[in-house]
Amino acid sequence: MPDAARLIALLARPCFAAVLAAFAALAAAQEVPKLDAREAQLASQAVVGQLAPDAVLLDRKGKPVALSSYRGKPLMVSFIYTGCFEICPATTRSLLEAVEALGTRFGDHRFNVVSIGFNQPADSPEAMRAFAAQNRIDRDNWNFLSAPAAVLPQLTSGFGFRYAMTPAGFDHVLQVTLLDAEGRIVRQVYGDRPAVDTLGEALTALVAGQPVPQQGLLEELWDQIRIVCTVYDPDTGTYRVDYSLIWEIAGGLTFILAMALYMLNEWRQRRRQRRKESPHAPQRLHA
């Protein structure tokens, strides 16, 4: 049977048809409104090495605070919106766990943390104060700031933070931006659970006054996976990392590999069969 005919016959079998249908359904299910993952990552990484924008924001008491006032120590910056009832609180609590661990290691006085509310006018100083209280965050080195609408475009662009309004809320990338003592962006950390080891490695270098080591190939690959596997939940209007997609991608790659091995095995069998059926080459006569 010709190769094409064999492949068609294989794909026509019920088991393979069911697998292909499942993958088609999975692809269709992922077609929901969301930011372009690749574009968002490029925008985020494009600002690494640049000086973070300065802006005057309002703290939880309504007092003006300039971002430049945090220079002199490493600074972690996260963007949130207080109307998010699931992902932003969960991500902030995960960041709290990382901050507590890093505080134990370095001391709270060695670095600062800022969470900025970008949904204006809803993310007022009062709303930011309530958000911090609800998540039980009361640390001297962590402030919650309200960003005036007039400075938001320049602020989010300067930090490489992408977001988009949807009918149910906001679609945005989960990231923590790490700045050095001079206010320069040195690292973007992605995902709903900021990695303590990644932040700790960078902080170790910053506290010691050394250059932050560049991410290795595996770290960059993991960042790519975390961004690509970030999905939009239309019911809650939030953006979250769906780690189950990693297993689904692995399943798809396994299926493709199995098909490739099947075709290779078929080719080898046909080659052996042809050798058996071909006439023997004539023996050379020696004088």
pLDDT digits (tens, 9 = 90+) for 135-151: 999 999 999 999 999 99
Residues 188-225: tens digit of each pLDDT: 988 777 777 778 888 888 887 766 665 544 454 444 44
pLDDT over 60 (residue 128): yes
What residues have CB less than 8 Å from 37, skipping those under 6 apart? 227, 228, 230
CA distance 185 to 202: 11
Burial class (CB in 10 A: 0-12, 13-18, 19+), 185: buried
Percent of the chain with pLDDT over 90: 39
Domain-wise residue ranges, the chain: 3-30+244-276, 37-241
Q: Distance from CA of residue 210 to its chain's centroid?
A: 26
Identify the bridge partners of residue 144 per DSSP, sorted by sequence position. Answer: 115
**Alpha-carbon gap, residue 108 to 269, rounded angstroms:** 67
How many CB atoms lie under 10 A from the CB of residue 4? 8
Q: Which amino acid is at 93?
A: R
How many residues are given for the chain? Answer: 287
Supply the angle between the helices 37-46 and 217-228 in degrees, to the nearest 10: 130
pLDDT at 47: 95
Asked if 57 and 69 touch (Cβ cutoff 8 Å), the reply is: no
- Could you tell me the pTM of the whole model? 0.64
Kindly report, residue by residue over 32-86, the tens digit of the pLDDT: 446 677 788 888 899 999 999 999 999 999 999 999 999 999 999 999 999 887 8
pLDDT band at 154 (very low <50, low <70, confident <90, very high): very high
Q: What is the pLDDT of residue 76?
A: 95
pLDDT of residue 227: 46
Residue among 114, 117, 115, 112 nearest 148 (CA): 117
Plot region of 160 (φ>0 → left; ψ -120 to 50 → alpha; else → beta): left
Measured between its terminal Cα atoms, the distance across the chain in Å is 45
* CATH class label, 37-241: alpha beta
Confidence of residue 23 (pLDDT cuts 50, 70, 90): very low
267 pLDDT above the threshold of 90: no
> Would you say 102 and 200 are in contact if contact means Cβ atoms under 8 Å apart?
yes
Average pLDDT, the chain: 77
Instruction: Say whether pLDDT at 21 is over 90.
Output: no
Question: In angstroms, what CA-CA distances link 71 with 162, 169, 177, 201?
Answer: 24, 33, 14, 20
Which tokens sit at 232?
Answer: 């939009």
Cα(245)–Cα(34) distance, integer angstroms: 16
Q: What are phi and psi of 81, to 5 degrees?
A: -140, 135
121 preceded by a cis bond (ω within 30 of 0): yes
- HSE (side-chain half, CA atoms, 13 Å) at 172: 25
